[in-house]
Amino acid sequence: MGTQRESGEFVREPLGVAERITADGSSPWPVQAGRYRLVGARACPWANRVIITRRLLGLEDAISLGIAGPLHDERSWRFHLDPGGVDPVLGIEWLREAYEKAVPGYREGVTVPAMVEVASGQVATNEYAALERDLSTQWREFHRAGAPDLWPEPDAIERIGEGIFHDVNNGVYKCGFATTQAAYEKAYRALWARLDELSEHLATRRYLVGDTITQADIRLWVTLARFDAAYHGHFKANRHKLTELPVLWAYARDLFQTPGFGDTIDIEQIKQHYYGVHRSVNPTGVVPLGPDTANWLDPHGRAELGGRPFGDGTPPGPPPAAEQVPPIA
């Protein structure tokens, strides 16, 4: 996942299979319905980004979904929630098996999301940012009727997305895995400066770019959704809880209550993963019982700002029965 510099700063490792799946023949992997299985995990924000994108675009029939459980060790993510501890389509116990089929002797990080070719059982790509964009642009033939445009203003989305990635998505990890006080404080200050900036930006507009949900909102939301459950305490990102930030908390609830967002996460699995796997941060592996999550369903009042969540499109229907998550209680 990452390494530490001598300064104690956390550095995210490069992706080991950074290919693309395209419809135009520009990559070794062609777009083809039924050819690939998206392997994600309910706990992982990087996987959550691609799972939300797939759901909003209605690609469930074209790309199947495998879910690794929240617990793993140095060997990799594993399918411990599936019957027999084996993915029912790929027939593997550890995701590492699919990486090693792609790259014999594979030594890089075994990450989710990973798009796996079903027939060969090998990872085609784990490049999550390219996957997000390619699901929108390369897989159009298989989008549902009414699929939204998640990239209406690509330059603006990438510009705001860069800051979100460095200071928020990755920023919480920089806080949590810092091994010196100076490295931690640097990451902490950058995180909160960016969240303050985003809060001001969202105070007068419902979404980050334009008046519809875009990929930028997906990128920010996956971190906000995990903030109080994991990052505030576990990663010491504790200036405030999300629930103490009126604008960002209302924004996060608005999206949580939008089809395609809250119905893709499992707070219990998020806590099990962060507190149970990161033993360098939480040596006991004890998982907290809190926080209360029923407040995610409280009214958010954000509709008063206008906006059209899906633009000229429509909301996705309910998730397939096999992909449903436990309701917030």
Report cis status (omega within 30 of 0) of the bond before 291. yes
Q: Dmax of the chain from CA atoms?
A: 55
Of the candidates 36, 99, 128, 173, the residue annotated as catalytic is: 173
The verdict on whether 175 is a catalytic residue reads no
Please tell me the distance from the alpha carbon of residue 209 to that of residue 268, in angstroms, as a whole number: 31
Query: Which run of H or of E encompasses 252?
Result: helix 246-256
Q: Counting Cβ atoms within 10 Å, is residue 52 exposed (0-12), middle (13-18) or buried (19+)? A: buried
Give the rounded distance of the alpha carbon of 130 from its chain centre: 13
Are 41 and 77 a contacting pair, CB within 8 Å?
Answer: yes
- Cβ atoms of 64 and 38 within 8 Å: the answer is yes
Q: For residue 96, what are its two tokens?
A: 């590492």
Encoded amino acid at 275, one letter: Y
**CA neighbours closer than 13 Å in the CB half-sphere of residue 318:** 6
Whether the Cβ atoms of residue 12 and residue 2 lie closer than 8 Å to each other: yes
Task: Give ∠ CA 304-310-316 in degrees, rounded to 5.
Answer: 120
User: What is the set of active-site residues?
Assistant: 44, 173
